[in-house]
A and B are shown apart, each in its own frame.
Chain A
Amino acid sequence: MLKKTAALAAAAIIAVSAGTASAARDYINIVGSSTVYPFATVVAEQFGKTTHFKTPKIESTGSGGGMKLFCAGVGVEHPDITNASRRIKKSEFDKCQGNGVTDILEVKIGYDGIVLANSKKSSPMKLSRKDIFLALAKDIPDPSGAEKLIPNPHQTWHDVNPALPNIKIEVLGPPPTSGTRDAFVELVMEGGGKKIGWIKAMKKKDKKAYKRICHTVREDGAYIEAGENDNLIVQKLNANPNAIGIFGFSFLDQNSDVIQGSIVDGVEPTFEAIADGQYPVSRPLYFYAKKAHIGMVPGLSEYLNEFSSEKAWGEEGYLTDRGMIPMPDSERKQMRNDVKTLRNLEM
């Protein structure tokens, strides 16, 4: 008897919810990059608490995963906004167009620095991107000067560059699925590889081989994939003063009492240095919104307003408290204008 009632109730619930599923959605649905997630969530919460709209729902799916969901189509079952720690790709844009997502608003929100850091118990490292490349690439150029690759023989930082201390190379970093890793190999490793003449020359001749050399991280234990959890990396650095960790600037900012940023190419990773572009390893952050959903989903244009307001992304805005590096004034003005006029993204 009980079972029958239970089964009936279940059937009823499914029927009811299937009915409501196609009805309107009263909250904003956001997907995308895990790098933008800590910033977008703050805006969403602020938005939810200061307006009568519901708090947007934000899923951390990664930039690529977010694009896939975003570009699947127009309608309440699809997300309204996707966050990205890189610009939309042409292929993704085309897919969007193909699925009817024709009018897209692109908003650049600020910058994120990628930092290398170690425990405060040891002295700060002074590295160049070339040092990092030579320490972490799987294959490196023959030190004798010949234009060929040998498996990375370096065991200590001293091996890489005599100016560096004689400690074992131990780098804790994100796995290949992470956007931070993408940015790291692109900005740091490739930036270091380019410093070597013949490798730079290869870029024009054989782009694939060039990428393979620059983007392949060694797998013999010197680079330790520490998972996506940056807090864990911070804890491990604290336990092992010789190790160096790779993560987003916001983690350095929040944990500045236990870890210190390594100086890269002579620049310390400070808020100011990243903001004015001196620090070489930073990347722009974006979000993309579906114009067709404005008016369809309550609060969407208000959310766009909140995100692009000075109190959010301005120099003194609450996003900077979370470690996001704001854009220069002119760029912010430009972007704010884009949001107001809902400028269409074209590629």
Chain B
Amino acid sequence: MQKNNSVIGQERIQKKLKQRYRAEKRFRRLGLFAVITALSFLAILLISISSKGYTAFQQTYIKLEIPLSHEILDVKNLANADYPGLVKASLRQMFPDVKGRRDKRKLYGLVSTGAAFELQDRIIEDPTLIGEKISMWVPASSDVDMFMKGQIPKNVSENERRIKDNEIEWIDWLQQEERIEKRFNTVFFTAGDSRDPELSGIRGALSGSIFTLFITLLLSFPIGAATAVYLEEFAPKNKWTDLIEVNINNLAAVPSIVFGLLGLAVFINFFGLPRSVPLVGGLVLTLMTLPTIIIAGRAALKAVPPSIREAALGVGASPMQTVLHHVLPLAMPGMLTGTIIGMAQALGETAPLLMIGMVAFIVDVPGSFTDPSTVLPVQIFLWADSPERGFMERTSAAIMVLLVFLITMNAVAIFLRKRFERRW
């Protein structure tokens, strides 16, 4: 009887075993599926962004021959000379057959309005050029650029494309003469915002982001770490600390725009700090990231085994020495992870910056914490909202820059974490 029972038991176990293995396989497949799905979405995102954006790293240039006559350029009054006129004259010279106002306007539209600015800069830098005939490469207008990159199809009827037939003829001629070519788009990395896609660059927003995040990191990490250490290691456990804890947890879930409102009320209206500057942006983002850093920091401190604290106290370390020499170094990787999550959030934030005026058109590249500036996600938003077609590729390119920035930031954090990380 007993033997029978154990045989039946074994059979049941065998039967159940198969089921258990099946369940295990299902679970693993589900996990694998989830990972693959996530990865493929990521791949789709990256591919679609980079396939749209890579063209922005190239820009079409046109070579102009410009005679710099003394009549037009007065050495004493170089700032007010008619540089656009010089550019236009040069274009007319290249295409002497173009007649009529409408066609001439189109002809002038081949090169960017930035061409005149470049000419101006060059002459002011070296006034000895006046009297000579110079040849220079100037950026083509956005429409020509789009056409050269194949984003305006040739084989549709004329009124369905922004580049008309006669313009295509001109471009073809330029190509024959090797006066038009695509080059690496340095402007994109050296210029600030512009309303002309071909003159716009990411540098202003990038500098703004760097300044803003620098302030955020400088303030939020020490304050966050200190708060976490105090709450976790020193504060008595009572109603008040409980209340603080609940509040910090709630703050982490507050919509970021609320921090923008707070920043507007406190930093701008009360302290009178200027609008649209990275300093205020950094302060607002500090408020936003602090809860994340504090919560992550406390979790990291909690994860440090109590035996380490006991060991330190046991040899007579004071509570502060215990924390600074032993607990904090062990919690540092976790704290850094929390900080980097917070910083990544801050990097991608636009809503709170709207309230403090950082969603703005700013051409000049900011040079300090109190220069008006914008940040990368805001730049992306502004470009995505611009009517000019050329901004579409810039938008994708800006997203690429933002992602590279993010990856760099994460890489630095991982590097730091590896250096701090110790086994126990």
Q: Which residues of A are in contact with B by a Cβ distance under 8 Å?
A: 3, 6-7, 9-10, 13-14, 17-18, 20-22, 25, 27, 29, 31, 37-38, 40-42, 44-46, 48-52, 54-55, 57-60, 77, 120, 228-232, 248, 250-251, 253-258, 316, 318, 322-323
B222 adjacent to chain A (CB < 8 Å): yes
Q: In angstroms, how far is the closest chain B Cβ from the Cβ of A99? A: 14
Asked whether A44 lies within 8 Å of B361 as measured between CB atoms, the reply is yes
Give chain A residues whose Cβ lies under 8 Å from the Cβ of B154: none
CA distance A230 to B381 in the complex (A): 12
Asked whether B385 lies within 8 Å of A229 as measured between CB atoms, the reply is yes
Q: Which listed segment binds A: B254-262, B307-315, B386-394, B399-407?
A: B386-394
Look across to chain B and name the residue whose beta carbon is closest to the beta carbon of A253.
B387
Asked whether A41 lies within 8 Å of B370 as measured between CB atoms, the reply is no
* Contact sample, A vs B, 7 pairs, CB 8 Å cutoff: A3-B225, A21-B271, A27-B372, A44-B361, A120-B160, A229-B384, A251-B387
Asked whether B161 lies within 8 Å of A257 as measured between CB atoms, the reply is yes
Give chain A residues whose Cβ lies under 8 Å from the Cβ of B55: none
B369 adjacent to chain A (CB < 8 Å): yes
Asked whether B385 lies within 8 Å of A59 as measured between CB atoms, the reply is no
Given contacts A257-B152, A257-B160, whether A9 and B218 have CB atoms under 8 Å apart is yes
Give chain A residues whose Cβ lies under 8 Å from the Cβ of B79: 51-52
Asked whether B362 lies within 8 Å of A18 as measured between CB atoms, the reply is no
The interface centre, meaning the residue of B105, B277, B360 with most chain A CB atoms within 10 A of its CB, is: B360
B335 adjacent to chain A (CB < 8 Å): no
Give chain B residues whose Cβ lies under 8 Å from the Cβ of A17: 273, 277, 279, 369-370
CA distance A25 to B372 in the complex (A): 10
Give chain A residues whose Cβ lies under 8 Å from the Cβ of B384: 229, 231-232
CA distance A221 to B279 in the complex (A): 44
Give chain B residues whose Cβ lies under 8 Å from the Cβ of A41: 195, 361
The binding surface of chain A is classed by DSSP as: helix
CA distance A10 to B214 in the complex (A): 10
Give chain B residues whose Cβ lies under 8 Å from the Cβ of A51: 79
Asked whether B359 lies within 8 Å of A60 as measured between CB atoms, the reply is yes
The interface centre, meaning the residue of A22, A41, A42, A316 with most chain B CB atoms within 10 A of its CB, is: A41
Asked whether A228 lies within 8 Å of B387 as measured between CB atoms, the reply is no
Q: In angstroms, how far is the closest chain B Cβ from the Cβ of A44? A: 7
Q: Which residues of B are in contact with A by a Cβ distance under 8 Å?
A: 79, 105, 113, 117, 152, 156, 160-162, 194-196, 215, 218-219, 221-222, 225, 268, 271-277, 279, 357, 359-364, 369-370, 372, 384-389, 392
The interface centre, meaning the residue of B268, B271, B361 with most chain A CB atoms within 10 A of its CB, is: B361
Asked whether A7 lies within 8 Å of B387 as measured between CB atoms, the reply is no
Asked whether B385 lies within 8 Å of A231 as measured between CB atoms, the reply is yes
Give chain A residues whose Cβ lies under 8 Å from the Cβ of B196: 45
Give chain A residues whose Cβ lies under 8 Å from the Cβ of B272: 18, 21-22, 77
Asked whether B387 lies within 8 Å of A29 as measured between CB atoms, the reply is no
Give chain A residues whose Cβ lies under 8 Å from the Cβ of B273: 17-18, 21
Asked whether A3 lies within 8 Å of B222 as measured between CB atoms, the reply is yes
Look across to chain A and name the residue whose beta carbon is closest to the beta carbon of B283.
A14
Given contacts A18-B271, A18-B272, A231-B386, list 17 more A-B pairs with CB under 8 A: A9-B218, A13-B218, A22-B272, A29-B276, A45-B196, A48-B363, A52-B79, A55-B362, A58-B361, A59-B276, A59-B359, A77-B268, A77-B274, A120-B160, A231-B384, A257-B160, A322-B387
Partner among B222, B361, B389 whose Cβ is within 8 Å of the Cβ of A7: B222
Give chain A residues whose Cβ lies under 8 Å from the Cβ of B362: 55, 57-58
Partner among B156, B274, B279 whose Cβ is within 8 Å of the Cβ of A13: B279
CA distance A6 to B219 in the complex (A): 8
Give chain B residues whose Cβ lies under 8 Å from the Cβ of A120: 160
Asked whether A254 lies within 8 Å of B357 as measured between CB atoms, the reply is no
Asked whether B387 lies within 8 Å of A6 as measured between CB atoms, the reply is no
Asked whether A45 lies within 8 Å of B276 as measured between CB atoms, the reply is no
Partner among B117, B274, B364, B385 whose Cβ is within 8 Å of the Cβ of A55: B364
Partner among A10, A29, A38 whose Cβ is within 8 Å of the Cβ of B195: A38
Given contacts A77-B272, A231-B385, whether A57 and B279 have CB atoms under 8 Å apart is no
Given contacts A253-B387, A257-B161, whether A44 and B363 have CB atoms under 8 Å apart is yes
The interface centre, meaning the residue of B79, B117, B384, B388 with most chain A CB atoms within 10 A of its CB, is: B388
Asked whether A228 lies within 8 Å of B363 as measured between CB atoms, the reply is no
Partner among B160, B279, B385 whose Cβ is within 8 Å of the Cβ of A14: B279
Q: In angstroms, how far is the closest chain B Cβ from the Cβ of A233? A: 11
CA distance A77 to B386 in the complex (A): 28
CA distance A254 to B387 in the complex (A): 6
Give chain B residues whose Cβ lies under 8 Å from the Cβ of A251: 387
Given contacts A13-B369, A77-B274, whether A250 and B222 have CB atoms under 8 Å apart is no
Given contacts A13-B215, A13-B279, A49-B117, whether A257 and B162 have CB atoms under 8 Å apart is yes
CA distance A9 to B274 in the complex (A): 20
CA distance A230 to B160 in the complex (A): 20
Q: In angstroms, how far is the closest chain A Cβ from the Cβ of B424? A: 23
Q: In angstroms, how far is the closest chain B Cβ from the Cβ of A141? A: 37
Given contacts A42-B195, A253-B387, whether A318 and B359 have CB atoms under 8 Å apart is no
Q: In angstroms, how far is the closest chain A Cβ from the Cβ of B19? A: 48
Asked whether B194 lies within 8 Å of A6 as measured between CB atoms, the reply is no
Give chain A residues whose Cβ lies under 8 Å from the Cβ of B386: 38, 231
Asked whether A48 lies within 8 Å of B364 as measured between CB atoms, the reply is yes
